[in-house]
Amino acid sequence: MLTLTANAAQAIRDLTASAPEPAQSGIRISSQGEGSSSLTLSLATAPEPADAVVETEGARVYLDPVAATVLDDKALDAGADDKGSVSFVVTEQTA
């Protein structure tokens, strides 16, 4: 299952803090079609019915079935540039 670093969890909490339903809001990672290796990230107010849910430190990530498979052994990290723009990166999980 996808894991979140502390930086990613904080970034997600920051992004969803002003959402209409912050208690359920998170980010959703979805595929661009069946079997596609291209994934997109968007803000979501709730998971879709088939989504896997990853929750760490109050931060929620919703994964569609293809994304859940692709990211099963990965970690999500986040960072911000000097202008405050957040970027996410997928890395290998560390033991």
pLDDT in tens, 29-38: 998 866 556 8
What was the pLDDT predicted at 33?
Answer: 66
| Mean pLDDT, residues 60-79 taken together | 94
Share of the chain above pLDDT 90, in %: 69
Whole-structure pTM value:
0.89
Angle in degrees, CA 84, 59, 82, rounded to 5: 10
**19-51: burial string, b at 16+ Cβ within 10 Å, e else:** eeeeeebbbbbbbeeeeeeebeeeebeebeeeb
Tell me the CATH number at 70.
Answer: 2.60.300.12
The range of the structural domain enclosing residue 63 comes to 3-92
**For the chain, what is the domain count?**
1
